[in-house]
Amino acid sequence: MFKKFISYYRPHKKIFILDMTAAFLIAIIGMGYPILTRYMLSNWIPDKDIKMIVIGGCSLLGIYIIRALLRFFVQYYGHIMGVRMQATMRSELFTKLQKLPFSYYDNHETGTILSTITNDLFDISEVAHHGPENVLIAGFTMIGALVYLLTINWILGLVLLVIAPVLIFITYHFRKQFITNMRKTRAATAKLNAQVANSIAGIRVTKAFTNQELEQKKFEEINNEYVKIRTNVFSSMGRYFSISQFITDLFNVVVILLGGTLLYLGFDKFQVADYSTFVVSVSLFITPVNQLIMFLEQLESASSGF
């Protein structure tokens, strides 16, 4: 399956390479802010070197403008690549549908087939586009941030390294529930679409035999089932986002308390500049962890669709 999926990238090698290069540069630029912050607090501000402060600020603005352009390239051309891959898959799928026997259509409702050719292909194209760049940006940023934080203070760095697996496990667990309910929603949506499609296709027969009440009853049953499933989705969504955000906030609490204690004790020449940089850099480490968790779920969903 993986080999087949990779084959869809071949006609778009140039865009893919440029997209990955832009993603890599975005990840590198992301490290600029905490590094510049540390230099400014450690050297330029204590030395009252206003020239370097201005140069540093202007340089940061310049690379942020470059990053904005790179993000535009990734978003625009990456999506172009994804939608072209999606079009190729859709064409292959439509060709396959033309060759299937009548028995297939007897056993599969039109709404379900339409859901497959739209929703499943959308999930696949999103992973095709966002997957490689998200893994590259998140992986490089997470590793780079951790290494940089360890160079600032190894104790705080190790604490983050220990807490990170807990964040991944808990977040993955609750997101798993969320995704499971989302899949049920997709199935309910396909069922709802199938009911509407069948009712519209057979509207003449329905009116001829005055079966409007029966059709309405069947529709309301499926519609109520859809509402019930969506309610469960919102419940799991609330738990997932609130708990994942709480764990992220917990990181900040640990850094503030432990970092403040180390600063108070004067441990290992730990300075205010190091402390401030660490606080700023924590999000650089946490955000890509969440991105990788999201990618794993997207990959699982897209794989089943593929």
Contact 142, 289 (CB under 8 A): yes
Give the mean pLDDT of 1-19. Answer: 86
Give the mean pLDDT of 203-210. Answer: 73
Identify which has the larger pLDDT, 119 or 77.
77
Please name which of 53, 30, 63, 97 lies closest in space to residue 281, comparing C-alpha atoms: 30
**Cα dihedral 58→64→69→73 (10° resolution):** 160
Give the mean pLDDT of 122-141. Answer: 81
Task: State the number of CA atoms in the 13 A half-sphere of 148 facing the CB.
Answer: 26
Q: Other CB atoms closer than 10 Å to residue 205's CB: what's the count? A: 9
Q: Which of 17-26, 144-153, 154-163, 238-247 has the highest mean pLDDT?
A: 17-26
**127-150 in b/e burial notation, b at 16+ Cβ within 10 A?**
bbbbbbbbbbbbebbbebbbebbe
Mean pLDDT for all residues in the chain:
81
Q: Answer yes or no: is pLDDT of 257 > 70.
A: yes
pLDDT by residue (tens digit) across 217-236?
878 888 888 788 878 777 87
pLDDT given for residue 276 in this prediction: 80
Contacts of residues 268-277 at CB distance under 8 Å and 24 or more positions apart, as own/partner, are: 268/153, 268/155, 270/153, 271/42, 272/41, 273/37, 273/38, 273/41, 273/42, 274/38, 274/42, 274/152, 274/153, 276/37, 276/38, 276/41, 277/34, 277/35, 277/37, 277/38, 277/41, 277/152
pLDDT given for residue 111 in this prediction: 67
Q: Answer yes or no: is pLDDT of 194 > 90.
A: no
* Relative orientation angle of helices 50-99 and 121-152, to the nearest 10 degrees: 150
pLDDT by residue (tens digit) across 34-79?
888 888 878 888 888 888 888 888 988 999 899 999 999 988 888 8
Confidence of residue 214 (pLDDT cuts 50, 70, 90): confident
pLDDT given for residue 204 in this prediction: 77
